[in-house]
Structure 1
Amino acid sequence: MAEKLLCASSDISDTTARICEVEGVEIGVIRHKGTIVAYRNVCPHQGGPVCEGLKMPRVCVEFDEQRRPLRQNFDTAEMHFVCPWHGWEFKIETGEAVGDSKIRLSRYKVVERDENVYVEI
């Protein structure tokens, strides 16, 4: 596999994905828990620009003893991309769809070297 330059390491944020183009393919790159992850910027649902969506924590619902919802909380240990077209959520760490772990974003292997970020294509 060939390594392709995406961007400088300093261009990668912890809060929003940087969208880079390599050989006509958009790739979303983000720093997550100290690691850089890269996904093809295409939602498997209907092709939306998934990496351009919100980055938000997992929403957890707290129930009472009769299973009625009491309140919602955020779990910042699990961050998600939310596709801006239809709201599908994907775990940033793994690329898995929140509702169905068999559906995943296409992930690229990332190499960080000499203050630059490369992907294997």
Structure 2
Amino acid sequence: MSAVLTMYVLVQPLIAKLAGNTEWKQPESIPATTRSAFKKAPGRTDYQRGIYTIENGQFVVETTGNQSSGAFRSMSLANCFVVLERERGSIEVGETVQIQLFNLRFTKR
């Protein structure tokens, strides 16, 4: 999973730049309400796999389950990263978190 995250955070913007895409931007962070708890210890920023939906015009997100680095199935279920800030601990149901929708476009518009 660290390789996937590295691709998402570092390599994808590099490829876009090398391809001459001057309009590429990092995906924006969107606030979402948690539908499930997320485990995390304070001390580092954590990108966890999540599944977002839109309900009544609001983003809601739940975990894909196992977040260990070898849990490849969780990536196939995910449609976003849940970005948990460095100083934040575990998140309970109903809290607000930031999500980044997967952005895999490398072409110019």
Is TM-score (shorter-chain normalized) higher than 0.5?
Answer: no
- Kindly indicate which of the two structures has a greater share of residues assigned to strand: 1
TM-score normalised over the length of structure 2: 0.27
Structure number with greater CO (CA < 8 Å, separation at least 6) is: 2
- Kindly indicate which of the two structures has a greater share of residues assigned to helix: 2
TM-score normalised over the length of structure 1: 0.25
